[in-house]
Amino acid sequence: MATSPLIVRVLLYILLGSVSVLTICGNLLVITAVIYFKQLHTPTNYLLLSLAVSDFLVGALILPFSLDSSVLRCWYIEDVFCKIRLIIDVSLCMSSILNLCCISVDRYYAVCQPLRYRTKINGHVAGIMILVNWSVSVLFGLGITVMGLYHGECDITCLTIIYPITMVMTSCMTFFFPAIVMLGIYIKIFLVAQRQARSIQNTNCQSIKSGASVSKMERKATKTLAIIMVFFLISWTPFFLYYSVQHLTNYSIPATVHESLHWFGMSNSMINPFIYAFFYSWFRAAFRMIISGKIFQGDFANSKLL
């Protein structure tokens, strides 16, 4: 397979390398903020921390290797390392969408069953959800690898699954089924939120008004987290649709299109920190303190974030 001209390769290294650096740095900010600031020690933020760890690992472990294979148009590496890359790739993709599923469950209880939220979703429950999430993701990645793979002499996709139905099932289990579940949960949440908003507007009771302010904050958080889910689906749907259609019909598209769709999906790992900074004032305040180095000048773990 022919390589790209030198100038194109240099530009690709700069562009795709920037995506990798921004992904690592942005998610490292989120990880540091949630771990350091006690105000951010909430079940929802623990789930966001797990998602940030997944995105950070994509930037640190997947994107650098994908950079070489995308730019050089060929993958020269030992078979065992190629399989390790596949395990990590599948595991992290699975982990990201399972984290989003856990977040959608958290938002369901916060909005639809607010009185039961603190008993149903707490730090202990969030920890169990994260543990199960990562265990399932790693086991699934290992299972996909041992189901029958081969490695060509020079293959840009690194590994090709022998049985097309395996790839389709993988796409359904890692993306389509969880995506449908999440969409269903968020539709339910927004229907309940609209009903709550109408009830608040139709009452003058001060106690309800007071409780409504908390509910309003939860609804705002839910909208923000729903935006994160939407961006994830927009980023990865083209890639998984292409992969499913390709393996069902044996239709092949140019390698450049394949790589573009893959990078478009992986770039989602870079987006989430920007969403947090845009919508959450406390994350903005935390990011400013971390970037300025203020947290290294004293103990600010108990600082009141905006």
Fold of 6-296: Rhopdopsin 7-helix transmembrane proteins (1.20.1070)
Exposure b/e, 209-241, CB count within 10 A at least 16 = b = eeebeebeebbebbeebbebbebbbebbbebbe
The mean pLDDT of 160-186, rounded to a whole number, is 77
Tokens representing 278 are 């845009």
Q: How far apart are CA 259 and CA 164, in angstroms?
A: 19
Query: How large is the C-alpha radius of gyration of the chain?
Result: 21
Q: How far apart are CA 263 and CA 273, in angstroms?
A: 18
Q: Are 242 and 253 in contact (CB under 8 A)?
A: yes
Report CA-CA distances (Å) from 300 to 29, 49, 99, 185, 296.
Answer: 16, 19, 29, 37, 9
> What pLDDT score does 160 carry?
46
pLDDT over threshold 70, residue 234: yes
Beta strands in the chain (DSSP E): 149-150, 160-161
The mean pLDDT of 207-236, rounded to a whole number, is 76
pLDDT over threshold 70, residue 1: no
Mean pLDDT: which of 12-16, 30-34, 174-178 is highest? Answer: 30-34
pLDDT over threshold 60, residue 80: yes
The mean pLDDT of 2-10, rounded to a whole number, is 68
The mean pLDDT of 136-162, rounded to a whole number, is 63
Q: Provide, rounded to the nearest whole percent, the portion of the chain with pLDDT above 70.
A: 80
Q: Which residue has the higher pLDDT, 303 or 53?
A: 53
pLDDT over threshold 70, residue 189: yes
Mean pLDDT: which of 63-67, 101-105, 167-171, 276-280 is highest? Answer: 101-105
Q: Which residue has the higher pLDDT, 158 or 112?
A: 112
> What pLDDT score does 151 carry?
43
Mean pLDDT: which of 92-106, 146-160, 188-202 is highest? Answer: 92-106
Residue 301 burial (CB count, 10 A): 12
Q: What is the DSSP string of 213-239?
A: HHHHHHHHHHHHHHHHHHHHHHHHHHH
pLDDT over threshold 60, residue 37: yes
Determine the longest span between alpha carbons in the chain, in angstroms. Answer: 73
pLDDT over threshold 50, residue 11: yes
> What pLDDT score does 185 carry?
93
- Residue 78 confidence class, pLDDT cut points 50, 70, 90: low
Q: Are 86 and 159 in contact (CB under 8 A)?
A: yes
Q: How far apart are CA 275 and CA 283, in angstroms?
A: 10
pLDDT over threshold 70, residue 164: no
> What pLDDT score does 298 carry?
87
Across 49-53, 58-62, 65-69, least confident range: 65-69
Average pLDDT, the chain: 82
The mean pLDDT of 229-250, rounded to a whole number, is 85
pLDDT over threshold 90, residue 76: no
The mean pLDDT of 268-289, rounded to a whole number, is 92
